[in-house]
Amino acid sequence: MTPQPTAPDAPSSPFPADFLWGAATAAYQIEGAVAEDGRTPSIWDTFSHTPGKVLAGDTGDVADDHYHRYAEDVALMKELALQTYRFSIAWPRITPDVTADALGPVNEAGVDFYSRLVDELLAAGITPAVTLYHWDLPQALEDAGGWTARSTAERFAEYAAVVAERLGDRITTFITLNEPWCSAYLGYGSGVHAPGRTDPAATLAAVHHLNLAHGLAASAIRAVRPDAAIGLTLNLAWVRPASDSAADAAAAQRIDGLQNRVFLDPVLTGTYPDDVLEATASVTDWSFVRDGDLALIHTPLDVLGINYYSPTLVRAYDGVGEREEADGHGDSAASPWPACEDIEFPAQPGPYTDMGWSIDPRGLTELLLRMHREHPGLDLMVTENGAAFPDAVGPDGQVTDDDRIAYLRDHVAAVGDAIAAGAPVRGYFVWSLLDNFEWGYGYSKRFGIVHVDYATQQRTPKASARWYAGTIRTHAAS
């Protein structure tokens, strides 16, 4: 038999035909309009208005003014060929009068904004993927204990059901929480995020109530919309020990437990890891975990969202000299890590992004393959990946962000490697569509593939946006 010649244009892309390419944002980072149409304050309004908490005193009061410009922004997404868009819903717009005891009435004007956004997306042929909680807890709930209180998880499930009822006819993917690690460890541990508390025991109570919130919300959404795909987005860490010493290996295991397994295990296996419970016994007895909670948390997960930016390097701290704390999670006298005084985070090799985060795409492949190995059959999505660089609009009106193109190209290739090795990765979302309010760093860090001039609100697609549109059109990074 004569061998068939390979067609010169045979597709070599590892990305399956139904792979979805998108971009992600979050409500408080882009919307603005914080006091409009009945919205009440969230913990990020309070935090950003507290002097000294956010760089340069920046707040999300106006942000990208997306609340008013959503139609223009969807048109931009269409121009960039986006197939899917991950955005978050601001809970204080949906039930602004929520208290620890009751959800309160639904604010129709708040629902209407998201309803119009979803319609606009669908008309543009873009599939919406909704995150129900991207850190903007109603302030009234924080005043009643925030995520350290069980009632917050209960009210969250009720709010999730409202969103599923009102929007679930047009939205099929609901991601309950974004990065509960950050909500708990940065919000209640190091205090660099809202609500700015620094209490290790509160951190772990928050972990559990966030897990519970996920489980309760997943069931509540399914009760209303049995066909909805339920997701959870975690910022999983690719944790590496600084050496092959037993002490460094144990340090890496502890951080892996506190960042990855304390969220993965309850959701996917219905247990808390024994080593995490033991390592944190000096901080809490975990008595906030009630009988039956783990069964509520261990509810089927349709898709695991992974946010990846940078690797994590850990070393056992010998108590001599200054403890290195280059974990990339901001500056605070309080550590985000409960019961980890004997662990340090050494500086990592460059190159770095503008956040000072080490660039290493291997971590993304490793994480995807680990999830595939440890939880076979679980669909995966990269729900955030991207980089801040100090972009500027040039005299020609262009933003030439070759560094971001290189970052994205290498990370997309890393996803392709994982797919080629068998990982069921269903989509990839660039963080972020627009430059926006980068939490404690305010407007000083630009993650967008679209530049935003905050004085005029003018949007300028960067070179990376055009590169990404090309990647989407050809289904392969070039």
Residue placing its CB nearer to ligand FCB in the complex, 317 or 439: 439
Distance separating alpha carbons of residues 235 and 208, to the nearest angstrom: 16
User: Which x/- pattern, by CB under 6 A, does the window 3-32 give for ligand FCB?
Assistant: -----------------------x--x---
Spatial neighbors of 359 by CB under 8 A, at least 6 apart, are 310, 350, 351, 352, 353, 387, 407, 410
Cβ at position 63, least distance to ligand FCB in Å: 12
Residue placing its CB nearer to ligand FCB in the complex, 98 or 192: 192
CB-based contact 168:224 (threshold 8 Å): yes
Cα 270 → chain centroid: 22
CB-based contact 80:465 (threshold 8 Å): yes
The encoded tokens of residue 59 equal 């707040």
Residue placing its CB nearer to ligand FCB in the complex, 29 or 365: 29
The encoded tokens of residue 304 equal 């695991």
Nearest to 237 by CA among 331, 329, 413, 367: 367
Question: In which element (H, E) is residue 268 found?
Answer: helix 262-269
Total number of residues that touch ligand FCB (CB under 6 A): 12
Distance separating alpha carbons of residues 164 and 222, to the nearest angstrom: 9
Judged by CB under 6 A, the residue of 439, 443, 467, 468 near ligand FCB is 439
Q: Is the dihedral of CA 256, 259, 262, 264 positive or negative?
A: negative
Residue placing its CB nearer to ligand FCB in the complex, 47 or 447: 447
Rg value, the chain, Cα: 22
Residue placing its CB nearer to ligand FCB in the complex, 149 or 433: 433
Residues in region 418-437 near ligand FCB by CB under 6 A: 431
Distance separating alpha carbons of residues 396 and 399, to the nearest angstrom: 9
Judged by CB under 6 A, the residue of 45, 58, 265, 438 near ligand FCB is 438
Residue placing its CB nearer to ligand FCB in the complex, 120 or 384: 384
Distance separating alpha carbons of residues 368 and 308, to the nearest angstrom: 10
Q: Does 213 bind ligand FCB (CB under 6 A)?
A: no
The encoded tokens of residue 455 equal 């004085």
Residues in region 52-111 near ligand FCB by CB under 6 A: none
CB-based contact 294:266 (threshold 8 Å): yes
The encoded tokens of residue 191 equal 């205090």
Cβ at position 465, least distance to ligand FCB in Å: 17
Cβ at position 233, least distance to ligand FCB in Å: 8
Taking residue 151's Cβ as centre, other Cβ atoms within 10 Å add up to: 15
- Cα distances from 65 to residues 80, 141, 442, 459, 469, in angstroms, run 20, 26, 15, 11, 24
Cβ at position 88, least distance to ligand FCB in Å: 9
Distance separating alpha carbons of residues 144 and 285, to the nearest angstrom: 22
Cβ at position 237, least distance to ligand FCB in Å: 12
Taking residue 17's Cβ as centre, other Cβ atoms within 10 Å add up to: 7
Judged by CB under 6 A, the residue of 447, 449, 468, 477 near ligand FCB is 447
Residue placing its CB nearer to ligand FCB in the complex, 93 or 222: 93
Cβ at position 106, least distance to ligand FCB in Å: 26
Residues in region 330-389 near ligand FCB by CB under 6 A: 384
User: Which x/- pattern, by CB under 6 A, does the window 273-312 give for ligand FCB?
Assistant: ----------------------------------x-----
Distance separating alpha carbons of residues 269 and 401, to the nearest angstrom: 42
Residue placing its CB nearer to ligand FCB in the complex, 131 or 211: 131
Taking residue 324's Cβ as centre, other Cβ atoms within 10 Å add up to: 16
Cβ at position 324, least distance to ligand FCB in Å: 21
Active site residues: 179, 384
- Name the pairing type of β-strands 173-178 and 127-133: parallel
Cβ at position 10, least distance to ligand FCB in Å: 37
User: Which x/- pattern, by CB under 6 A, does the window 158-187 give for ligand FCB?
Assistant: --------------------xx--x-----
Q: Does 235 bind ligand FCB (CB under 6 A)?
A: yes
Which residues are near ligand FCB by CB under 6 A?
A: 26, 29, 178-179, 182, 235, 307, 384, 431, 438-439, 447
